[in-house]
């Protein structure tokens, strides 16, 4: 069995707790180690008041050691440039052929970095990204989540669709399991639970 490289979850003060829980919990169940990356190794505090001690600092992170970089939304994305180093890290990952997933405010950080100019993408709303002055407005898609060129994007109300795109990108589950998982957690489809259990048992 091929050893899977860790998935790296970026954490910083004001990060939005709810946006990546589906993705990280089910990636861990699929056999991926999830490691947190902070601006430093000092604790950070989420929007919900949770204190997280990062596993490593951003300057220790290397694309070749990772399966995926997840950038979560945070109030800090919209109040200055303190998180810009994480957008630059996303560029390094994509340049190295390692995927990135960004949700909510993190999409604005990537827009400022120029990473959405030539990729199909989505976010909270078109005007939200337009305020960054980026050049990719024509590539904006009004859908739950988008994957293009190794980059997943989603808005803040779509953590389940965001997770589904990540599972597909990493091959975490087969198509039947992913479809059943989405119908269970997004649509509350009662039949999907049994289908998911059956798919995971194969």
- CA 27/CA 180 separation, integer angstroms: 15
**What is the DSSP track for 35-59?**
EEEESSSS-EE-TTS-EE--SEEGG
**pLDDT at site 2:** 54
Q: Tokens in use for 12?
A: 């910083």
**Residue 195 DSSP one-character state:** H
As its CATH architecture, domain 7-171 has 3-Layer(aba) Sandwich (3.40)
Which of 125, 141, 140, 144 minimizes the C-alpha distance to 186? 144
The per-residue pLDDT string of the chain (202 residues; one tens digit each, 9 = 90 and over) reads 457 899 999 999 999 999 999 999 999 999 999 999 999 999 999 999 999 999 999 999 999 999 999 999 999 999 999 999 999 999 999 999 999 999 999 999 999 999 999 999 999 999 999 999 999 999 999 999 999 999 999 999 999 999 999 999 999 999 999 999 999 999 999 999 999 999 988 7
- What pLDDT does 18 receive? 93
pLDDT, position 1: 40
Cβ 9 vs Cβ 72: under 8 Å: yes
Strand pairing report for 34-38 and 7-10? parallel
- Helix (H), strand (E) at residue 148: strand 145-148
Going from N- to C-terminal start, the domains of the chain cover 7-171, 174-202
Token code pair at residue 52: 């997280």
Nearest to 13 by CA among 35, 40, 33, 31: 40
Q: Supply the pLDDT for residue 3.
A: 72
Tell me the catalytic residues. 104
Asked whether 108 and 123 are in contact (CB, 8 A), the reply is: yes
Secondary structure, 3-state, 59-116: HHCCHHHCCEEEECCEHHHHCCCCCHHHHHHHHHHHHCCCCEEEECHHHHHHHHCCCC
């Amino acid at each position: 069995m091929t050893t899977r490289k860790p998935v790296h979850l970026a954490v910083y003060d004001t990060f939005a707790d709810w946006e990546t829980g589906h993705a990280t919990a089910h990636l861990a169940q699929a056999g991926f180690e999830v490691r947190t990356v902070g601006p430093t190794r000092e604790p950070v505090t989420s929007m919900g008041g949770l204190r997280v001690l990062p596993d490593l600092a951003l300057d220790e992170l290397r694309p070749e050691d990772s399966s995926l970089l997840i950038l979560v939304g945070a109030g800090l994305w919209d109040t200055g440039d303190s998180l810009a180093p994480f957008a630059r890290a996303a560029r390094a990952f994509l340049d190295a052929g390692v995927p990135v997933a960004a949700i909510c405010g993190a999409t604005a950080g990537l827009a400022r970095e120029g990473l959405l100019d030539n990729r199909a993408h989505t976010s909270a709303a078109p005007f939200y990204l337009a305020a960054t002055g980026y050049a990719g407005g024509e590539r904006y898609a009004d859908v739950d989540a988008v994957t293009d060129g190794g980059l997943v994007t989603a808005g803040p109300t779509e953590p389940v669709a965001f997770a589904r795109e990540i599972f597909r990108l990493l091959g975490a589950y087969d198509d039947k399991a992913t479809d059943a998982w989405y119908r269970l957690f997004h649509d509350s489809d009662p039949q999907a639970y049994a289908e998911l259990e059956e798919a995971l048992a194969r």
